[in-house]
Structure 1
């Protein structure tokens, strides 16, 4: 069989015992898949053999290659065979078990199956990151053989690869896998654009070669004059990156001039910066196109200097400069820690030493379910990140679009819970401010500060949302979320004691990750959702109960958070005025509030606000039974919002190993009731939904 011969050739330089281990795995797989065929008509065993070949060509170790050969073991013959550990060793057996479990996973619909597969995959990564290397190779081979599947299935798989697996490969530093997954997905999802780009790249091949030869010669000559040895290689950008540039700049492929790249490899970090000077003396650099990933590496460990210059005839040229060690990480990412070495002398790196795995561990406790989980993954783990600094110079990675509150909760829960303001690069900024790359962020804290429900609108990360919700529920905060205003009232309960080390007047700065964090004493475990007669109910001022007015409208529609002042407690119909605070949004006071004269710069920072009329709409009350999950309230809230409903009341109680909840929902039209019910039933953790009553 060709696949067997190709695999044996790829591992031919390995030690005899490692080659024998792979041969034994192949024989085992042949027996497991005997008589099975793929959609193409090929023997089923050809797929795991090709997956193993991909990993062997990437240079992965024998345990990973063996796991790839056997990664459909549970699919083929029931549970993973217990003798695998004895035959191939405990590490290979563990990898087989984890990858087989994902391959065998079935769910009632494709979205749930994808979500659960990715959930298990990410959690398995925290035990051994090689699980995802096998899964990525599995996806790559499936993408290469898509043509045998129905059109709808092909597009679904291609979209999944573009949304999940290609970005994940990028996060792990597997650039070659990422590039090929993206190109294959583009070919499936937009064949016209793919063919156009392919033709233009092919047409300009000769012209490109002549241009690059001239560039390479000039770089070598200039480097030699400085006493620098440099290895120069050139490359054309992969098709999907060209496609992205076409969309971003609204140009066709033949109008783009920066389709070429040069890579310079050298011996030391100092040589990298010296070569950067050589390049910039040869050609003028483009402003804003220089990136120093040596000083600030990417989360996957990638380090390199990037610059774009205006070369001959006005042609743009992107240049990467890195050392040979940096290049190894750039090519293989986290896989570089498990590259095959004779004598088994490779430097094994524990999964917990990798930043991405630590982030997964921290995040996995807040995983939601189904479609929402997929969206969270795309937004937080796989899309663009920003890197900001604490005042002590430590780097914190956050999803693009994050706010100072996200930063505070990333540092520590106690810092977030005690946040009263923030500074970015020394300037006071609102808590809703969108942080930018490389800013220095300082969190101002106070022992008297408390989270409030407005913060749920301001934060982007699941961690921050989860911690805010936990605090609100644990401290009896009532929740009512509407389009125009968020109102809250603190229940009559004993106050949770939280102590925060601070400086000056009760204010402190964000602590350094990894150092002792602010001491926290809470009423319960920080990571658990308090249950048993836990209520979430709306606070509606007495004057509102018989009125159709509930919201506040801000003059100019600034989109800031709105809070009601605790000193004068305005209720519907009262004359009111807004005060733009520093970092806490707009505070609404009664116009006769005695504290107004004492507010800093009140005249300059006051703003007109008015009560807003709102129709009461219809309500429907549901009783649900569900599995215990960390954020059931959030899951139900998301399901209701999908149908443009509003969750206005909720209550959760324990019932053995289950949760029982009552939720009241406001909707616009009577027919929305059934749609909301169906949406709530779609939450994977929910076992039963009953309509208790409905009213106008």
Structure 2
């Protein structure tokens, strides 16, 4: 653990003007507040914030960030308050500590919600000050380094999974590759212990059998470049076990067939030498086609710059080579942390423009599951580069389409998209874009996002915006249905109701406005009786039962209340497990879960549905096989009558002596009612067989 004077000396080395007294006070404050608290390892708890502060000095961050790192757990784990911190260390430190603290107050939530809520608060805090992210990443990295001290294996795996899913990708997106690699490696050891052990053992064996091979390859590269007059630094390393395992999993390869497990870095003096070195290496060694990437002319969103290529060494061994200037190398390892900059007001600079997309996803996401899905899409995938006709460059995930491109340019442009030209040719909107494509978006004034787009867009921003627009459209449709139902309800009241009564009903039902009320009626969230009572209190007391009659069928689900039809192929009745099929510009078809026609719904969106609480009354279809003798038809009709089932349709479908087969549509209350009728039919001598159709 860093001692007090060592931490202060580290800061003073790169920031001679740092307030030494303030740094000392912060160190003493965290030691005093954490007192006798212990970590799982048995070390004093204050050793953790001190080590996190040490990680911040490695990045040469300002004294406010160092102090924040020292104090980041005091509000959560001690009696310290934000007000106390502001009084002692100033408003800037208090704001940063508060930002980090808010991320730690959700550990008791269910796992999925906790991860999503953590991410939501994380992104919002990042949008205000990037230093919150840097401290939190260092906090997580140090916790991962000591994770093995936690005795509960389930807790270790949970923390490792959260690190792999959220913190490592975020570290990558801000260019902190050293943090990302170490987090991935430590999480991999917990999540896949057998794979980790196997790969590390194989790497040890490889190292022993090929002693000095990495140094030999590096020397050959350096000599080839020196012969051409280039002064460079070259060194090599093995890729870490998680990187190798992921490649094995993605390509379905055994360890022996993963050929490019070694990576080499070439450092030059300037950009021109980078391209010169690339040319020399490609002339000297055969390069692998399709494996060259130029991140110097088109840097990654996180500011990463380098040339990447893969070479055949000694005709059979594939090795990856990264070529960059020394300045690029200094910034690539720790990304935005290596050259962080702020505008007035504490906003991050343009280098993290991707962050604006993530904040937009937070605003658009409907629930925790959706937020996690959209954000993982935004932070995980490999990138391609596409251009507007005017030459503006946009980075997108592999597999992105013209619709993804449109939303990347601007949300409004994405919403108004009706077509696209790719490299001057009209192409379908679902066409995947390639590197260097020039994309022209054709928009329409009255256009709106289509539900079918969700079948091919790949960016979290596009998916979030489309879903938000679809939900708004569905809400409007439900409200429109609710308005029609409201008129029917109002007609059943003993007196006419006007705008004043409607306004009072909105207040009594605690709705935001009239549109909210119409939506609640259309979505069957309110009963007819509740609406009547809200409009005219006491109006239903002496009203005949039939005047208060509720709508017989209501459906719960994503599209509850929106123009649904009970499918005639399977005739679902309340009590059946149901699913909905929604096609563009059509109502939802409600099917029984075992309906054979569902196989034809591959072009539709499937919607998980359930019956409303008061649903009753529907038409069920049954198949009845009667013996062909006098009186059997009357006997079947008697069963229907005794069970209060109204026959809506009766059709003789097959005449096959000695049997007659009928398809019967019966008006029944629910599945239990229909089941009782079929049981009664099977119990009579007139019926050979009775089944649902």
Aligned pairs (5 A) from 1:92-171? 92-149=93-150, 150-171=152-173
Query: 1:376 aligns to what SS in structure 2?
Result: helix
- Of the three residues 296, 302, 305, the one matched with 2:304 is 302
Give the corresponding residue for 2:13: 13
Counterparts of 2:12 and 2:201 in 1: how far apart (Å)?
A: 37
Does structure 2 retain, via aligned residues, the 8 Å contact 1:338–1:348?
no
Unmatched runs of 5 consecutive residues or more in structure 2: 485-513, 523-558, 572-581, 596-604, 619-668, 672-693
Deviation at 1:90, TM superposition (A): 3.5
CA distance in 2, matches of 1:204, 1:18: 50
Distance 1:45-1:368 versus aligned 2 partners, 3 A rule: farther
Deviation of 1:452 after TM superposition, in Å, equals 4.0
Instruction: Give yes or no for contact 2:382–2:398 (8 Å, CA) kept in 1.
Output: yes
Mark the runs of 5 or more structure 1 residues left unpaired by the alignment.
340-344, 481-487, 493-528, 551-560, 573-611, 619-640, 650-660, 667-693
Of 576, 587, 608 in structure 2, the residue corresponding to residue 645 of structure 1 is: 608
User: How far does residue 155 in structure 1 lie from its aligned partner after superposition?
Assistant: 0.7
Seen in structure 2, the aligned counterparts of structure 1 residues 346 and 72 have a Cα distance that, compared at 3 Å, is same
Quick one: distance in 2 between partners of 1:372 and 1:309? 41
Distance verdict in 2 for CA 1:22–1:238, change over 3 Å: farther
Equivalent-residue separation in structure 2 for 1:74 and 1:138 (angstroms): 15
Deviation at 1:281, TM superposition (A): 1.4
Residues 1:695 and 1:617: Cα distance change in structure 2 (over 3 Å): farther
Q: Distance in 2 between matches of 1:286 and 1:452?
A: 41
Q: Which moved more, 1:235-244 or 1:217-226?
A: 217-226
More helix by share: 2
User: 1:266, 1:347 → 2: CA distance?
Assistant: 36
Tell me the equivalent position of 2:422: 424
Structure 1 residue 4, shift from structure 2 partner: 4.8
CA contact (8 A) 1:478 1:539 kept: no
Work out the CA distance in 1 between the residues paired with 2:112 and 2:592.
Answer: 36
* Structure-1 residue corresponding to 2:368: 370
Provide Cα deviations, 1:389-416, integer angstroms capped at 9, x if missing partner: 2222222233444332232233234433
Secondary structure of the structure 2 residue equivalent to 1:166: helix
Question: Which residue number in structure 2 is paired with residue 27 of structure 1?
Answer: 28
- Say which SS state the counterpart of residue 547 (structure 1) adopts: coil
Contact 2:12 2:18 in 1 (8 A): no
2:67 aligns to what?
66
Deviation string, structure 1 residues 416-461 (Cα, Å, up to 9, x no partner): 3332222333343322333344432222223454444434444444
Q: Give the Cα separation in 2 of the matches to 1:249 and 1:58.
A: 36
Alignment deviations for residues 497-552 of structure 1 (CA, whole Å, 9 cap, x no partner): xxxxxxxxxxxxxxxxxxxxxxxxxxxxxxxx9855346776659xx6683489xx
Give 1:478 deviation, angstroms. Answer: 6.9
Of 316, 332, 335, which residue of structure 1 is paired with 2:334? Answer: 332
Map of 2:643 onto structure 1: none
Offset from partner CA, 1:558-591 (integer Å, 9 cap, x none): xxx9656xxxx9x99xxxxxxxxxxxxxxxxxxx
Please give the secondary structure, in 1, of the residue aligned with 2:437: coil
Instruction: Please identify, of 465-474 and 92-101, the stretch whose mean Cα deviation from structure 2 is larger.
Output: 465-474
What is the distance in 1 between the residues matched to 2:593 and 2:257?
Answer: 56
Q: How far apart in 1 are the matches of 2:468 and 2:42?
A: 53
Counterpart of 2:202 in structure 1 is 200
For the residue of structure 2 that corresponds to 1:310, the secondary structure is strand
1:547 to 568, 574, 585: 568
**How many Å separate the matches in 2 of 1:318 and 1:378?**
27
Structure 2 residue aligned with 1:257? 259
Give the structure-2-normalised TM-score.
0.68
Asked if structure 2 preserves the Cα contact closer than 8 Å seen for 1:174 and 1:335, the reply is yes
Q: Deviations over 1:283-342 (max 9, x none)?
A: 000111111111221111101100110112521111101112211221110101249xxx
Q: Specify the alignment match of 2:409 in structure 1.
A: 411
Once the two structures are superposed, what CA deviation does each residue of 1:225-259 show, in whole Å capped at 9, x if it has no partner? 43322122222212211111222343443543322
Find the counterpart in structure 2 of residue 387 from structure 1.
385
- Distance in 1 (CA, whole Å) between partners of 2:517 and 2:397 is 34
Distance 1:165 1:445, change over 3 A: same
The 1:530–1:62 alpha-carbon spacing in structure 2 relative to 1, beyond 3 Å, is farther
Q: Which moved more, 1:115-124 or 1:102-111?
A: 102-111
Deviation string, structure 1 residues 471-515 (Cα, Å, up to 9, x no partner): 5566678779xxxxxxx99x99xxxxxxxxxxxxxxxxxxxxxxx
* SS of match in other structure, 1:40: coil
- Closer, same or farther in 2 for the Cα pair 1:195/1:41, shift >3 Å? same
CA, structure 1 residues 429+313, in 2 after alignment: closer, same or farther (shift >3 Å)?
Answer: closer
Asked if the contact 1:537/1:648 (under 8 Å) is kept, the reply is no
Q: Hey, what's the Cα distance between the residues in 2 that align with 1:42 and 1:457? A: 52
Q: Residues of 1 paired with 2:277 and 2:615: CA distance?
A: 64
Does the 8 Å CA contact 1:268/1:323 hold for their aligned counterparts? yes
Alpha-carbon separation, structure 2, partners of 1:120 and 1:450: 30
Q: Secondary structure at the match of 1:440?
A: strand
SS class of match (1:351): coil
Q: State the partner residue of 1:286.
A: 288
1:53 equivalenced with 2:54 (yes/no)? yes
- Cα 1:451–1:410 change in 2 (3 A) is same
Asked whether the equivalents of residues 49 and 70 of structure 2 are also in contact (C-alpha less than 8 Å), the reply is yes
Residues 421/346 of structure 1: CA separation in 2 closer, same or farther (3 Å cut): closer
Per the normalisation by structure 1, the TM-score is 0.67
Write the distance in 2 (CA, Å) between the matches of 1:346 and 1:231: 36
Contact 1:548 1:613 in 2 (8 A): no
- Conserved 8 A contact 1:453-1:479: no
For 2:31 and 2:372, the matched residues in 1 are separated by: 35
Does 1:351 pair with 2:348? yes
Report the Cα offset of residue 8 of structure 1: 5.1
Alpha-carbon distance between aligned partners in 1 of 2:227 and 2:172, rounded to the nearest angstrom? 37
User: Deviation at 1:133?
Assistant: 1.0
CA 1:278/1:402 → structure 2, altered by over 3 Å: closer, same or farther? Answer: closer
Q: Does residue 1:90 correspond to 2:53, yes or no? A: no
- CA pair 46-646 structure 1, distance change in 2 beyond 3 A: same
How far residue 147 of structure 1 moved from its aligned partner, in angstroms, is: 2.0
Pairing of 1:473-492 with structure 2 (within 5 A): none
Q: Is contact 2:129–2:346 with CA below 8 Å preserved after alignment?
A: no
Distance 1:349 1:318 in 2: 40
For residues 333 and 270 of structure 1, do their structure 2 counterparts lie closer, same or farther at Cα, with a shift above 3 Å needed?
same
**Corresponding residue SS for 2:426:** strand
By relative contact order (CA 8 Å, sep 6+), the higher-ranking structure is 1
Does the Cα contact within 8 Å between 2:361 and 2:371 map onto a contact in 1? no
Q: Please say if 1:217 is aligned against 2:215.
A: no
1:297/1:695 CA distance change after superposition, 3 Å: farther
Offset from partner CA, 1:644-692 (integer Å, 9 cap, x none): 723899xxxxxxxxxxx9999x9xxxxxxxxxxxxxxxxxxxxxxxxxx
Further displaced range: 203-212 or 374-383: 203-212
For 1:442, what is the secondary structure of its paired residue? strand
SS in 1 for 2:204: helix
Shift of 1:27: 0.3
Q: Which moved more, 1:443-452 or 1:31-40?
A: 443-452
Q: Check the 8 A contact 1:381/1:399 in 2, yes or no.
A: no
How far residue 189 of structure 1 moved from its aligned partner, in angstroms, is 1.5
Maintained 8 Å contact 2:214/2:237: no
2:518 pairs with 513, 533, 541, which one? 533
- Give the deviation of 1:161 after TM superposition: 0.9
| Distance in 2 (alpha carbons) for counterparts of 1:210 and 1:160 | 38
> Structure 2 matches for 1:459-608, cutoff 5 A?
459-468=457-466, 471=469, 531=516, 533-534=518-519, 547-548=568-569
* Distance apart, 1:163 and its partner CA: 1.2
Match of 2:299, SS? coil
Q: In angstroms, what is the RMSD of aligned CA positions?
A: 4.1
Give me the whole-angstrom Cα distance separating, in 2, the residues matched to 1:74 and 1:112: 23
* d(CA) in 2 for partners of 1:531, 1:347: 40
